[in-house]
Amino acid sequence: MGDTCCDNSTMGEIGRIIKDELPGIYVHSVKLGDSEGADRNAGFFGNLNTQVDRVCTELAEVDELKDTKVNLMGFSQGGLFLRALVQRCPSISARKLVTFGSPHSGVARIPECPSDGDVLCRWMRQLASRGVYSWYIRDHVIQAQYFKDPERIDQYLQYNIFLPDINNEVADKRESEYRDRIRQLEKMVLVRFSDDAMIYPSASSWFGFVDANGTETSLYDSLMYIEDWLGLRTLDESNRLEFVSLDGKHMAIGEQNLRDIVSKHFADDGDEDDVPGPARVPIIEPDIHQHVFKNGHRYT
């Protein structure tokens, strides 16, 4: 929310760190919109189904991404969107998916704004307060499209246009392809922040949530896991699902933590004969709020 694909102090810095850690690797940062302003707006307003389709089409035309498995790294809501891309986009062959503070099970409250001066975010929250399931809000406000009220699950399943689909929550509309594409991942890494107050519940980063009483629930207690709607149980039972906890607030990753994760999961540790084409390619989603690197600077 509020960031752009290529700003040198945000996604550009992330790309620099990845390239520094893995020399020679190609990094592609997802961009929505033809200008910096349009790209920023797309993090708040639009239709997620349309956005995912657009990104799928555009990535299919990137030469460096063709005929190779790619790694994907998503920040906050960007990780949720990249997972949707893995499930829906046949032109992307995903190797590993790493998400940081991503609301995979949705949010029970509209996310807080990274800063009081973020006009777009405040406007989004004002619109959402009028009713996330009203026809206009649900189709045009990004955060409403992964909002999940634990006290109104029936309305959520009926009216939310994005999250119930990609989480395979609607029994008669489940897509086996979504499950199969997740199962094909070599690894899914889910990073949660210990003091995350922006995403509620923070357990959503690990596919947990809260019940109607506000009690945190675990992925392992959910039908999603038990019945393997998304292939998460398959990943877990084959040691390909990893839960990581980082100390700090939402997106306070720290440069060394980022380097460690990149080195551990994106280094070329596979069989080259199985992966034709160029070097492994991280795709990173432009959605970072408050990354704190070891030099003490805060990027917002």
Instruction: Give the catalytic positions in this structure.
Output: 76, 196, 250
Q: What is the dihedral of CA 266, 239, 184, 267, to 10 degrees?
A: 10
73: which strand partners?
Answer: 98, 284
Residues 257-296 as b/e (b if ≥16 CB within 10 A, e otherwise) read bbbebbeebbeeeeeeeebeebebbbbbbbbbbbbbbeee
In the numeric block, the tokens 């039908």 are attached to 223
Tracing tokens 């503070």 back to the chain, one arrives at 101
E strand segments, the chain: 28-29, 69-75, 93-100, 187-193, 209-210, 216-217, 241-246, 281-284, 291-292, 298-299
214 by Cβ neighbours in 10 Å (0-12 / 13-18 / 19+) ranks as exposed
| Collapsed DSSP state (helix, strand, coil) of residue 124 | helix
Element (H, E) at 207: none
Task: With beta carbons less than 8 A apart as the criterion, state whether 260 and 6 touch.
Answer: no
Q: Which DSSP state fits 173?
A: G
| H or E segment to which residue 179 belongs | helix 176-183
The separation between CA 265 and the C-alpha centre of its own chain, rounded to angstroms, equals 17
Q: Tokens representing 239? A: 């040691």
3-state DSSP assignment of residue 107:
strand
Distance CA 79, CA 160 (A): 19
